[in-house]
Amino acid sequence: MGLEAPIQHVATPNGVKPESKKARPSMDPNVHNAVLGSLLIKPWYPSFYPEELVGREVERLYICQWCFKYSKDLINEFLGHLKVCPLKDTPPPGAAIYTKDGYSLHEIDGEENKLYCQNLSLFAKLFLDTKSVFYDVTTFLYYLLVAHDPTPPVPVTIPGIPNSVNGQVVGFFSKEKMSWDNNNLACILVFPPWQQKGLGQILMGASYELSKREGRLGGPEKPLSELGKRGYQSYWSHTIARTLLSAPQKKTLTVTDIRDQTYIVQEDIIATLQAMQVLDRKKRGGAEAVINKAKVRAWATENKVDLNPPVDVEGFVEMEEEEEEEK
């Protein structure tokens, strides 16, 4: 039917998933190949797709690039769905709250878009070892990262089905509507074809910017996965270095100052400064250690820190509208 031939094989970043199969044999994927649009992706972990629809194990699962509906039947079910998918001619669901440099962030309510969020979560579980919420999505908000000119592209090469011009969801993060621990993020994923492009930093940056707007100090739900730890260590260290280097030369910033500017909690700031090895063990003003700016500058140079943050506050659509209303 024209879908098999043009499928693009997408390699896992670095060629392997974060943890080896030998260490955790029970975590072998139950979907051997996932087809998203025209991209063939190798899953890392099993997902909880209904056994009565998918089976206990499936060689190839077809997933709609617009609504994430799935089927193992290409001819009778999947191709028919692509022709009538309600999202193929519209932007992704939810309101666009951020737009900048070819990317948008759409906020959707899991209660109002239950089926979409369930299907999204099931697809995401193929690349996450810790995600546990699949069907009870009503207490979560989801933030979709939409690429308006994705690389690689996800063309549909089926006669009669035009390619969407409304962008492709390439990742997302979710958060609880009411978190007793003030977590600003429950789950985060950039889909494998678009990893290693700095998009995770956009999602993390957006989660903290939303925390600022809500006036709630918080961080990601813990414990973090190994992949999550690496991503957040990169985000925290770059954000802290950027904050310190952007301050006036003679101004001394404390951990509290960094917290108030970045909304990163103190324990994460301290752990990150220790990992960066930029603390001097000197008692000053009651503090046990002080931040050595020269070491921060050297660290930033070595790690090629961009002084421009991954998220531009001016890109938030709602923020602009609120400011205009106040004027």
What confidence tier does 162 reach under pLDDT thresholds 50, 70, 90?
A: low
68, 118, 164, 246, 319 from 125: Cα distances, Å: 13, 11, 25, 39, 32
Determine the number of helices (DSSP H) and then strands (DSSP E) in the chain. Answer: 9, 14
Residue 127 above 90 pLDDT?
A: yes
Write down the catalytic residue from 59, 107, 221, 288: 221
- Identify the residue with better confidence: 72 or 20: 72
Model pLDDT for residues 214-261, shown as the tens digit of each residue: 999 999 999 888 888 999 999 999 999 999 999 988 888 899 999 999
117: closest CA among 174, 192, 170, 45?
A: 174
Q: Where exactly are the structural domains of the chain?
A: 224-307
Model pLDDT for residues 203-220, shown as the tens digit of each residue: 999 999 999 999 999 999
For residues 172, 177, 179, 182, the Cα torsion angle rounded to the nearest 10 degrees is 70
Q: What is the pTM of this model?
A: 0.87
Q: According to the model, what pLDDT value does residue 226 have?
A: 82
276: closest CA among 248, 309, 239, 224?
A: 239
When the pLDDT of each residue in the chain is averaged and rounded to a whole number, the result is 85
Residue 289 above 90 pLDDT?
A: no
Distance separating alpha carbons of residues 195 and 171, to the nearest angstrom: 9
Q: According to the model, what pLDDT value does residue 102 have?
A: 92
Examine the residue annotation and report whether 221 is marked as an active-site residue of this protein.
Answer: yes
Question: Domain 224-307: which topology?
Answer: Arc Repressor Mutant, subunit A (1.10.10)
Residue 6 above 90 pLDDT?
A: no
